[in-house]
């Protein structure tokens, strides 16, 4: 399992020279990433440190999730996704549990949890700080997708740590432009996480720097 994950993520062999970052998948904990001008003011022209890397598994597909932290300690979650051979960034902010019912009421949640896609959701309230991260309406496009969450970068974890997976089922809603999404993850523990996600081209990354402590 560990070897399979390393093959998916890339080699972890130390290099004798300073690492060159040519793709966001090259990023490691402690590296710095800066975005260009974006509509989301908390991303635009802002530098983030890669504070942590976690791992999502969907069947045989493995995705690193980079936890990005700005100078004020605010967190953004970034994944590189692919569709029809095109790679893009999925950038997410978690919606506080106290705001979940305002964003998705109980009736709408029940409909989303029902079998099948196509459920429509109109957003009556956008939490403070998420106005530019959310669309006015969404449609459910993925229903009950099963996955696992591993806390930590799976390339460097022991077999025991990799096997300590948290199972969940996810429901994905997207807006008409396919630029915005709401992601609902329902864990086997009963915990529910709700994220506001935006999609951007990889070239919206202006610059990346390796950590000064890594070579």
pLDDT tens column, 61-76: 889 999 999 999 999 9
What pLDDT does 71 receive?
95
- Annotate 123-147 with DSSP letters as a single string: -S---TT-GGG--SEEEEEEEEEEE
What per-residue confidence (pLDDT) applies to 64? 94
Does 185 reside within a domain? yes
Q: What is the pLDDT at residue 214? A: 55
pTM of the model: 0.88
In a domain, 167, yes or no: yes
Q: In this structure, is residue 16 part of a structural domain? A: yes
Q: Is residue 215 part of a domain?
A: no
Q: What are the helix and strand counts (H, E) for the chain?
A: 4, 11
Amino acid 2: pLDDT: 47
Sequence-ordered list of residues with C-beta below 8 angstroms from that of 187, at least 6 positions apart, any chain: 149, 166, 167, 168, 193
179: containing domain = 2-209
Cα(31)–Cα(211) distance, integer angstroms: 4
User: Does residue 87 sit within a domain?
Assistant: yes
Go through the chain and tell me how many residues it has.
Answer: 215
pLDDT at 127: 95
Provide the pLDDT for residue 10. Answer: 53
- In a domain? residue 214: no
> Tens digits of per-residue pLDDT, 146-182?
999 999 998 888 889 888 999 999 999 999 999 999 9
Q: How many domains is the chain partitioned into structurally?
A: 1
Within a domain: residue 8? Answer: yes
Question: Would you say 140 and 113 are in contact if contact means Cβ atoms under 8 Å apart?
Answer: no
Residues with pLDDT less than 50, the chain: 2, 4, 6-8, 11, 13-16, 215
Residue 114 pLDDT: 87
Look at residue 155 and tell me if it is in a domain. yes
């Amino acid at each position: 399992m560990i070897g399979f994950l390393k093959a998916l993520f890339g080699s972890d062999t130390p290099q004798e020279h300073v690492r060159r970052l040519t793709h966001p998948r090259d990023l490691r904990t402690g590296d710095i990433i800066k975005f260009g001008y974006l509509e989301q003011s908390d991303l635009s022209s802002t530098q983030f440190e890669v504070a942590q890397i976690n791992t999502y598994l969907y069947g045989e597909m493995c995705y690193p999730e980079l936890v990005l932290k700005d100078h004020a300690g605010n967190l953004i979650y970034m994944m590189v996704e692919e569709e029809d051979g095109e790679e893009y960034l999925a950038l997410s902010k978690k919606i506080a549990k106290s705001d979940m019912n305002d964003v998705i009421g109980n009736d709408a949640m029940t409909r989303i949890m029902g079998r099948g896609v196509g459920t429509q959701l109109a957003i009556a309230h956008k939490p403070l700080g998420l106005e530019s991260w959310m669309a006015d309406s969404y449609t459910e496009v993925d229903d009950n997708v099963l996955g696992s969450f591993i806390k930590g970068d799976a390339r460097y974890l022991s077999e025991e740590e990799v096997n300590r997976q948290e199972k969940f089922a996810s429901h994905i809603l997207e807006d008409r432009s396919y630029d915005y999404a709401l992601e609902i993850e329902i864990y086997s523990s009963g915990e529910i996480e709700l994220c506001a996600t935006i999609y951007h081209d990889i070239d919206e990354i202006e610059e990346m720097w390796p950590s000064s402590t890594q070579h």
